[in-house]
Structure 1
């Protein structure tokens, strides 16, 4: 019998303890108002997850700037206006013994057309041709804009601490701004913020340093990073490991490993279909990379993506390559799955590929966000998920809602 590591607590480098090794990874909920404030729907959704026994719950995209949204309905934390609502959101989780970390993010170029007045990125690199209809070419950020964004990450983290969140996670993966700065494809600058691997890492290290300065040493700060971008000219595994070394030296508390971008959506598994039986048995998409990281550093590691069974999860933990198992899509179709897994049983639900039948849409992997977001809304409303919902129907409804949300967001911003 292998030891049951999933139920063991984990002490982070700063001394904080997670009650077990099972985490809910970030999924974009878009349950905020169209002027980007938290809602009771978020409280309801997170209370349901916390009751399942999870040790750590990471929120979906919490943006640091109302001028830089990833989607309509993102929650934005840039001042203390919504402190009461944020406290209620945090208490819904911490009141049941789990930790809740706010995932702080800036979309950079990865924001749909029309939502923001303009999009910033390290360099003015357009999306690939078949995605240009959905995403505008960004403007290259100025040095003063970069410094403002760094400061905003710190301010948002400090507000999260004041509101009672257990920690924060920097979103440095999936093609958003931090990820863009790390990528040679997206970051073509030749100043202090780009041109060499060391300079491309400067932004993420500055963000971490500013957050740590504003929250202090005893508040957990983690990061979600790509193992690689799986995109020509993008971040490689070698550069990713060097980034992890630098963050470990700086004092990061937990690193979650993922991969891909909207243009190369490896995080959904669409580009990483396992071929060998041994790989299928190991389940996790990024476990091999985690083993390379573990050989290089001793920082606590979280791996998300591909886990299907209690046996697979326990085997991954027993391998020593990771310390925390992250679940995402499964919790959108079975919010009670952690209760079963923590008792050694499998969920009765299985994650399936979501397809619309429209090649242009399916190539982007965007349904791995939109379809699951619809299930989160059902849970937040006190209903059960619909695992059999049509991908095409979900796309049409999501597109209509996104269009209306974009219009309302721009209208409210103009009136403020």
Structure 2
């Protein structure tokens, strides 16, 4: 279908700020600020690249007022004039490309404070249990402390003016401290900041007033708020309407809206399972209650963005991880090259996953340059090489792409009849659409770069193509691991990759193995109406799934009535089905018309190692043929292999 993206590319004004288009970069923590409260060169270059790529408005990640309230990651020191000069460098480098930049202000995460960061006992509106440790009860803020916070917002607003920011946004989102005052489930105060909904919103409106007194009438103030907490007992869409009306009356110039909170964290960081435009539904009702511009986030594609803008229910679309994956997508749209936009996989693995899991700066599964734009700039080789790539999985494709960008003559040798390897083969479910999009993108980019692909070609160490190559990238991938269990040769047994390729027609299916691949396959089949059972020997399924993604996956597995047997091992396949044994020693046979093995993958390394042995000085092994892992690992290794050429 042909889309007209002009609506997304039209200018718009928020109070006195004119934006060149309707594309906003979402506020996302980067973990790039340094201990002195200034952003690093990596962080500045990261934001600059998105402005250079054409985004109309760059939103910083949440910046905390001071160290006391900063119960999250590293932040700009808004309370210190020493941080202003470097912040000015940031804003000037955004302006240099025609973009605008908004400083997102937060007085803290409150009960959502990360463990061991900030105050030992978190602050909150009331004596709420800490999100991460319910046994720890938060300390309610005293009235005088609230007054001090208002002063801190005034200081932060002056910081924004001095550093040259074009707007500020109040972070009242995600169940953070501001939201804890607004929401009745977290606010049990009996003073002027509690009780009626007007009193509960007082904390937020006083923040807006504190900022407005500093910045004046024409400087834009945005407010980020979740309109639907999406859990029983949380604030509903209906509850939020008088709140946003009051915020407009208080002087807010635009509202940045979606849904979710930490109790429904997979909407704070939407997953592939929640789908595209998963929070656009809040805009229609909001439009009835406010006249100021509405900004919406939530797994938008360019197409869902246009649809929402054309409905009139939103004015600006907020793209987060898509701008991490491809910082230049606005300019590509403007130039009429939608096909060149690298899709975000919505995988959460290398962005929020790195921050949550490793407390390190964000990156991206498909864009290895994210937050490393300066040091990982792709430059031509002084003497281009002839490169042979063995295998067209994600690692091989990325190695070929980057080598070609560096001027190399690249040929891929692929044993099957298409690119993508196992990664593409298992991407048949509706919720894996972005993987299919990525493979299509690789195909287009490699064709444009002149990379030659020889399909249905198995390479051995003796082949002449290896002898004439200057560099060899062996990316032969992995193969299914099959344990020594009786009945594995039964005709109803199929490995998980072939199950995706061939399809499953049978009604009763048992999936042996409850890792990500097994669970995704079970969910896909259950969505087709099949009766599916997962057998997993560990005490929980999806242990290899990123925590936020697991919330969505577990919910959908329950919704589609997938039977899950944990602490249960497969002892054999029989004529009737699958013989299993529980940890307690109970044995039974699960009836099955089809048995899918998903015991994991092992390196397909024999050919790669033989090639490396014959050509040790010019062979690099990439991805699963070294160690089976996720696609992001293979893409990263492919990128580095091509970047290492000298």
Same fold (TM over 0.5): yes
Report deviation, 1:177: 0.9
Find out whether 1:313 has 2:305 as its counterpart.
Answer: yes
Aligned to 2:435: none
* Pairing 1:317-396 to 2, within 5 Å after superposition: 317-343=309-335, 345=338, 347-354=341-348, 367=353, 370=356, 373-375=361-363, 378-381=369-372, 382=374, 383=376
SS at match of 2:62: strand
Report the Cα distance in structure 2 between the residues aligned to 1:259 and 1:7, rounded to whole angstroms: 25
How many residues are paired up? Answer: 373
Conserved in 2, the CA contact under 8 Å of 1:154 and 1:210?
Answer: yes
Structure 2: which 5+ residue stretches go unaligned? 379-393, 396-515, 517-542, 548-646
Aligned to 2:164: 164
SS at match of 1:23: strand
Report deviation, 1:35: 4.1
1:20-43 CA-partner distances (Å, limit 9, x unpaired): 111101000111113433222221
SS at match of 1:349: coil
1:348-404 CA-partner distances (Å, limit 9, x unpaired): 223233479xxxxxxxx963964795217952323389x99x996999xxxxxxxxx
Conserved in 2, the CA contact under 8 Å of 1:302 and 1:322?
Answer: yes
SS at match of 1:264: helix
Aligned to 1:19: 20
* Pairing 1:64-213 to 2, within 5 Å after superposition: 64-107=65-108, 108-118=110-120, 119-127=122-130, 131-132=132-133, 136-213=136-213
Q: TM-score, normalised by structure 2?
A: 0.54
Conserved in 2, the CA contact under 8 Å of 1:222 and 1:253?
Answer: yes
1:169-192 CA-partner distances (Å, limit 9, x unpaired): 100101211111111111111111
Report deviation, 1:271: 10
SS at match of 1:6: helix
SS at match of 1:338: helix
Conserved in 1, the CA contact under 8 Å of 2:77 and 2:83?
Answer: no
Conserved in 1, the CA contact under 8 Å of 2:54 and 2:329?
Answer: no
Greater Cα offset, 203-212 or 34-43: 34-43
Report the Cα distance in structure 2 between the residues aligned to 1:104 and 1:300, rounded to whole angstroms: 19
Report the Cα distance in structure 2 between the residues aligned to 1:393 and 1:173, rounded to whole angstroms: 26
Report the Cα distance in structure 2 between the residues aligned to 1:393 and 1:287, rounded to whole angstroms: 26
Find out whether 1:285 has 2:273 as its counterpart.
Answer: no
Structure 1: which 5+ residue stretches go unaligned? 275-282, 357-364, 396-416
Find out whether 1:296 has 2:289 as its counterpart.
Answer: yes
Aligned to 1:279: none
SS at match of 2:179: helix
Report deviation, 1:216: 0.7
Report the Cα distance in structure 2 between the residues aligned to 1:286 and 1:373, rounded to whole angstroms: 27
Report the Cα distance in structure 1 between the residues aligned to 2:111 and 2:235, rounded to whole angstroms: 17
Find out whether 1:244 has 2:244 as its counterpart.
Answer: yes
> Are the structure 2 counterparts of residues 341 and 272 from structure 1 closer, same or farther at C-alpha, using a change threshold of 3 Å?
same
Report the Cα distance in structure 2 between the residues aligned to 1:315 and 1:350, rounded to whole angstroms: 19
Conserved in 2, the CA contact under 8 Å of 1:56 and 1:98?
Answer: yes
> Are the structure 2 counterparts of residues 3 and 42 from structure 1 closer, same or farther at C-alpha, using a change threshold of 3 Å?
closer
Greater Cα offset, 67-76 or 90-99: 67-76
Report the Cα distance in structure 1 between the residues aligned to 2:377 and 2:136, rounded to whole angstroms: 36
1:265-312 CA-partner distances (Å, limit 9, x unpaired): 1222359835xxxxxxxx42222211111112211000011212x332
* Pairing 1:224-263 to 2, within 5 Å after superposition: 224-263=224-263
SS at match of 2:239: helix
Conserved in 2, the CA contact under 8 Å of 1:370 and 1:394?
Answer: no
Report the Cα distance in structure 1 between the residues aligned to 2:170 and 2:12, rounded to whole angstroms: 20
Report the Cα distance in structure 2 between the residues aligned to 1:89 and 1:136, rounded to whole angstroms: 38
Find out whether 1:215 has 2:206 as its counterpart.
Answer: no
Higher strand share: 2
Conserved in 1, the CA contact under 8 Å of 2:170 and 2:224?
Answer: yes
> Are the structure 2 counterparts of residues 139 and 272 from structure 1 closer, same or farther at C-alpha, using a change threshold of 3 Å?
farther
> Are the structure 2 counterparts of residues 311 and 285 from structure 1 closer, same or farther at C-alpha, using a change threshold of 3 Å?
same
Q: Which has the larger radius of gyration?
A: 2
